[in-house]
Amino acid sequence: MRFQLSLEEIRTIAQPEQILGNFPGNITQIAALREAQAGALSFLANPKYSGDVAISKASLLLLPKKFDHIPAANQAIFFCENPSAALAKICRHIEKMGENTAPAAIHPSAIIPPGTVLGENVSIGAHVTFEENVKIGKNTSIGAGTFIGNGVSVGENVKIFPNVSVMAFSQIGHFVTLHAGVVIGSDGFGFVKIEDRHEKIPQIGNVILEDHVEIGANTTIDRARFASTIIGQGTKIDNLVQIGHNVKIGKNCIIISQVGIAGSTIIGDNATIGGQVGIAGHLHIADGTQICAQSGVTKDTEPNAVLLGSPAAPYKEAVRQFASIARLPEILKKFSKIISKNP
């Protein structure tokens, strides 16, 4: 996204602890250290890229406050406690600059039954469909092609992107974001085998998303068989995640892309789950658990555990296992030599 911000405007947003150098023009883009040219802002958050700072042509650098660097000509440096956090504030400001500032409106093609409760300043896009008994809080926007089912309640300041499906009786809290293609409240995967047939078990519960939850594109969260599937306050879920029925996820968790969580598992607060992790059903993942990418979890975890591998094991134990496996060819070769000498 193109924009124009002066150094003074960025200083007000980022609140750096120290400033060196100057750039007289406007900052118009954000770029990586190596790719940045005049007029660009860049930053250093990962020490891996420290060597790129000296060669960067960015006009404004956000650097850690103890980083040793002298600005080039027509280059400014903002030294920050946390450059990533400072950049996030700047990007949030830029995002607001680019938002549609037109007044809230309801597109004429939207289907909204009588009795629907709409708060103040609600925006509803083209071809949105509401079923009966829907309630939408103030300052909420709903993108084109979205479906909102019977009895759904949506809180205030919610952002729903296009083509989202929120199925019957789901409850969406305040300041929630649902990205394109999200499905909230699809049927849980429940069947019982009768003779030689799989008979469907009705899924009559719902989904509850608490405040400040964000759900990534094409993620699906199943309704409970009964009671509720719950996503706790402040939890952030990436794209392409599948969450089964009756799962309960705590507060402020991070769940990365392509995770699958089977039904009735409970995940505590502040858990971090890496990409492509699989978690079996009916488990308890304790508070603070960290699960590394591509792990398979089949057992309950201890608080603040760090797990790796499939089946997942404590991180240090798993690393030793992997090291032993890597040495197997060498061990087998030595063993073969011993056998050949002593037939």
pLDDT digits (tens, 9 = 90+) for 6-43: 999 999 999 999 999 999 999 999 999 999 999 999 99
pLDDT in tens, 147-156: 999 999 999 9
pLDDT for 104: 79
Tell me the C-alpha distance between 274 and 269, whole Å.
15
Angle between helices 83-98 and 7-14 (to 10 degrees): 120
Q: Is the domain of 193 the same as that of 306?
A: yes
Q: How would residue 101 be classed by pLDDT, with cut points 50, 70 and 90?
A: low
Residue 51 lies in a domain: yes
Query: If pLDDT is split at 50, 70 and 90, which confidence band does 293 have?
Result: very high
Average pLDDT of the residues in 301-328: 92
pLDDT in tens, 61-73: 999 999 999 999 9
- Per-residue pLDDT, 33: 97
Asked if 247 and 267 count as a contact pair (C-beta separation under 8 A), the reply is: yes
Q: Is residue 291 domain-shared with residue 163, that is, in the same domain?
A: yes
Domain total of the chain? 2
Confidence label for 322 from pLDDT (cuts 50, 70 and 90): confident
Q: How many CB atoms lie within 10 A of CB 255?
A: 27
Domain that holds residue 71: 7-98
102 — pLDDT class (breaks 50, 70, 90) = low
Number of helical (H) and strand (E) elements in the chain, helices listed first: 3, 36
Selecting among 174, 245, 282, 284, the annotated active-site residue is 245
Is residue 222 within 8 A of residue 198, CB to CB? The reply is no
Cα dihedral 149, 152, 156, 158, rounded to 10, equals -40
Q: Is 224 inside a domain boundary?
A: yes
Handedness of CA 16, 20, 25, 28 (dihedral sign): negative
Are 242 and 279 contacting, i.e. CB atoms less than 8 angstroms apart?
Answer: no
Kindly state whether residue 304 falls inside one of the protein's structural domains. yes
Say if CB 156 and CB 194 are below 8 A apart. Answer: no
Determine the pLDDT at residue 332. Answer: 80
Provide the H-helix boundaries in 158-199.
none
pLDDT over 70 percentage in the chain:
97
Is the pLDDT confidence value at 5 over 80? Answer: yes
Q: Residue 146 falls within a domain, yes or no?
A: yes
User: pLDDT over 90 for what percent of the chain?
Assistant: 89
Per-residue pLDDT, 326: 86
In a domain, 150, yes or no: yes
Same-domain status, 277 and 184:
yes
Domain holding 93: CATH number?
3.40.1390.10
* Tokens, residue 148: 């909102």
Domain assignment present for 331: no
**Cα distance between residue 213 and residue 249, in whole Å:** 11
Whether 323 maps to a domain, the answer reads: no
Asked if residue 66 and residue 128 are part of one domain, the reply reads: no
Assign residue 264 the CATH number of its domain: 2.160.10.10
45 and 165 housed in the same domain: no
Burial-class residue 60 by CB neighbours within 10 Å (0-12, 13-18, 19+).
Answer: buried
For the chain, give the mean pLDDT.
94
Q: Which of 106, 78, 67 is nearest to 10 (CA)?
A: 78
Boundary residue ending a domain (98, 130, 148): 98
245 is annotated as an active-site residue: yes
Nearest to 150 by CA among 187, 113, 103: 113
217 in the same domain as 123? yes
Regarding whether 184 and 138 lie in a shared domain, the answer is yes
Would residue 86 count as lying in a domain?
Answer: yes
HSE at residue 177, side-chain half, CA atoms within 13 A, is 11
Predicted confidence at residue 100, as pLDDT, reads: 55
| 123 and 185 fall within a common domain | yes
Cis amide leading into 311 (omega within 30): yes
In this prediction, residue 49 carries a pLDDT of 96
**Distance from C-alpha of 64 to C-alpha of 5, rounded to nearest angstrom:** 21
pLDDT digits (tens, 9 = 90+) for 211-268: 999 999 999 999 999 999 999 999 999 999 999 999 999 999 999 999 999 999 999 9
- The whole-model pTM stands at 0.87
